[in-house]
Structure 1
């Protein structure tokens, strides 16, 4: 069984149970004051295994399934069998890293709570984009004709997320999306260089350059 499938099953099971168990939600949700005052650091991770509702869960896990299975295989292609464990480390640490800016901003904000795997899923998606910058990506509800190269999709996604984050309002933690995405790329660059002797950044830039030159 793949790491992706295990995470997906665990996340779905925990989220579904939490839908009808408010105490479980309160125990697992990302709540900065609980971390600041009670040192409940585990909330950085556990909040990624619960979701607000079925659509929230379905969208995150559908996106994770589409990209995660492929990224996990690519990790094993780059690093060998141990690659799947690097993939797991990326996912778990992304849950933490994507929320650090949010935590710094809301350390003592008793009205702030956050949940969902979006930050870690963003790390997986952007790892895919980084490894396949020219692969067409589009929105779920649009036909294939509207797909654009992954690196362009990623750029537009980050620009839009940054705008929405600065605008504020709503219940979506756009900051987690941004930092999760950035972390997925940085993590991959570093471990590929350290443990596989590969310069993936140069490979990415060359692919993007070839696309730009062709136009």
Structure 2
């Protein structure tokens, strides 16, 4: 049974509901301190279904639909593992780094969305994507730029965005996609070298 549309609908409904109720948002956020010290393990998944505002939600759901519709067709029953596994993987750096910081919280499906984007890139490295919705570039180049950008923003800090969650989510998606399709690595390499 296709799960992408139900995931999008449920995420949209929960996010909109939680945006109007700060107490719900607070209960669902990824709080590493509460995960570790209060055993609130549900937060490792629940944070992927809430968003800070309408723009955050819209961007994530747009990218999820755009690439997830293709990835779900290709992965079939493996799609839920990719999506939910990436939410969990994306929480790892925050839990490791902020487990004793009671003030740290994060939210959003960006880690899972990043994983799905990477799974798409592994399967379709030569597909043309629009960087900033304007500049056409091959998917493999978009993937490289994604990692470079996220890593540089993570090192810079102070953005209020969990760039490490994006990196870990994307990394999970990349590894999972390569396990599913070992030829993906050589396909990406040949596509990339063919650009120069």
Question: TM (normalized to structure 1)?
Answer: 0.86
For residue 89 of structure 2, the aligned residue among 77, 82, 97 is: 97
| Residues 117-132 of structure 1 aligned to structure 2 (within 5 Å) | 117-132=109-124
Cα shift readout 1:52-108 (whole Å, capped 9, x = no counterpart): 000000000001000001100111xxxxxxx2x310111011101111011100001
Q: Which runs of 5+ in 2 are unaligned?
A: none
**1:208, distance to aligned residue in structure 2 (A):** 3.3
User: Per the alignment, in what secondary structure is the counterpart of residue 183 of structure 2?
Assistant: helix
Match of 1:19 in 2: 19
Cα offset, 1:127, TM superposition = 0.2
1:148 equivalent to 2:137? Answer yes
- Residue 214 (structure 1) shift: 6.7
The residue number in structure 1 matching 2:51 is: 51
User: In structure 1, how many angstroms separate the alpha carbons of the residues matched to 2:63 and 2:4?
Assistant: 11
Q: 1:111 to 1:189 in 2, by over 3 A?
A: same
The alpha-carbon deviation at position 33 of structure 1 amounts to: 1.0
Equivalence for 2:126: 134
User: Which residue is 2:100 aligned to?
Assistant: 108
The 8 Å contact of residues 131 and 142 in structure 2, kept in 1 or not, is answered as no
Task: State how far apart, in whole Å, the 1-side matches of 2:88 and 2:153 are.
Answer: 21
Q: Does 1:179 align with 2:160?
A: no
- 1: CA distance, partners of 2:30 / 2:91: 9
Distance 1:94 1:206, change over 3 A: closer
Q: Secondary structure at the match of 2:182?
A: helix
Task: Flag the 1:169–1:136 CA change in 2: closer, same or farther, 3 A.
Answer: same
- Provide the C-alpha distance between the structure 1 equivalents of 2:24 and 2:192, rounded to a whole number of angstroms: 48
Aligned-CA RMSD value: 1.5
Q: Give the number of the structure whose alpha-carbon radius of gyration is greater.
A: 1
SS in 1 for 2:160: coil
What TM-score, normalized by structure 2, do the two folds share?
0.94
Report if the CA contact (8 A) 2:60-2:113 is conserved: yes
Secondary structure in structure 2 of the residue aligned to 1:141: coil
